[in-house]
């Protein structure tokens, strides 16, 4: 990996106002994207601070998943630039957890081999691979057998495997596309806890797309609320509630207040004409 370049001071857009930040990790500049002649993004700008968890939330069709797919390099943007600590995507380690994690796992590999796959692709030897997988097993407190194939695992176990694989290479930025959409409440609480622990332990920047407002608020240091298309930032809300956040946190005044604020902004955007 190339040496980190010097950073030019960046600004974060919040409610249409540029606010200085200490350090931007992901810098999105003048991003544009059209689909079939319809403008989805036009001159979209955003700075994401290093080590923060940012949740992306907005009306249907505003391009939440499209945004992280373009930033992660999975979808081509029509114009614009994305930098990671001043580096290009090719110079940056990223991890990605797909919404359809069942299809994203390799069905011919065991769960262990799925997790180890990116490490082997990086050229690690057997002992290095084993050591890193063991670290992840301990972090996620795995109780099920990783010698099983994906089809033998529950949905929650498959999602856990998918997240572990995305974290295996120790990414600088982790993208997660609706990671809770197919999980029951017990597994949702578990994954919430483990993502917080990972962020605290490693400092990895996370960008999470969610269609559930409570999930979006629960993990976030910042909640990115998007407008209807052509998509811009409706608000970028800071949420400084102490970590680790537990299931009971949703009943605390601080949580209820920020969720209500986000809901008000979302409802305003939802009722705008397309």
pLDDT digits (tens, 9 = 90+) for 66-124: 999 999 999 999 999 999 999 999 999 999 999 887 889 999 999 999 999 999 999 99
Query: At residue 48, what are phi and psi to the nearest 5 degrees?
Result: -115, 125
pLDDT in tens, 152-193: 999 999 999 999 999 999 999 999 999 998 889 999 999 999
pLDDT band at 271 (very low <50, low <70, confident <90, very high): confident
**pTM of the predicted model as reported, rounded to 2 decimal places:** 0.88
| Residue 11 exposed, middle or buried by CB count within 10 Å (0-12, 13-18, 19+) | middle
For 55, what's the count of Cα atoms within 13 Å in the CB-facing half-sphere? 26
Q: Is 248 exposed, middle or buried (0-12, 13-18, 19+ CB in 10 A)?
A: exposed
Residue 130 to residue 104: CA distance in whole angstroms: 22
Size of the chain in residues: 274
């Amino acid at each position: 990996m190339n040496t980190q370049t010097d950073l030019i001071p960046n600004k974060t857009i919040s409610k249409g106002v540029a606010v200085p930040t200490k350090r931007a990790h992901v810098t999105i500049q003048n991003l544009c994207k059209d689909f079939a002649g319809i403008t989805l993004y036009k001159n979209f700008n955003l700075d994401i601070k290093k080590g923060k968890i940012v949740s992306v939330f907005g009306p249907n069709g505003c391009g939440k998943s499209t945004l992280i797919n373009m930033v992660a390099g999975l979808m081509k943007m029509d114009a614009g630039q994305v930098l990671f600590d001043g580096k290009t995507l090719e110079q940056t380690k990223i991890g990605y957890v797909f919404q359809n994690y069942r299809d994203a796992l390799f069905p011919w590999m065991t769960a262990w081999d799925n997790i180890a796959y990116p490490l082997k692709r990086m050229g690690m030897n057997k002992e290095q691979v084993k050591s890193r997988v063991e670290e992840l097993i301990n972090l996620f407190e795995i109780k099920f057998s990783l010698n099983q194939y994906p089809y033998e695992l529950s949905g929650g176990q498959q999602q856990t495997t998918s997240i572990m694989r995305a974290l295996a290479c120790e990414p600088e930025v982790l993208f997660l596309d609706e990671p809770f959409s197919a999980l029951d409440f017990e597994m949702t609480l578990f994954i919430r806890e483990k993502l917080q622990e990972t962020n605290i332990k490693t400092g990895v920047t996370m960008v999470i797309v969610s269609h559930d407002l409570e999930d979006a608020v629960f993990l976030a240091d910042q909640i990115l609320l998007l407008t209807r298309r052509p998509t811009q930032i409706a608000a970028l809300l800071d949420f400084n509630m102490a970590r680790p956040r537990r299931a009971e946190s949703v009943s605390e005044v601080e949580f209820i207040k920020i969720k209500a604020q986000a809901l008000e902004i979302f409802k305003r955007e939802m009722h705008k004409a397309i």
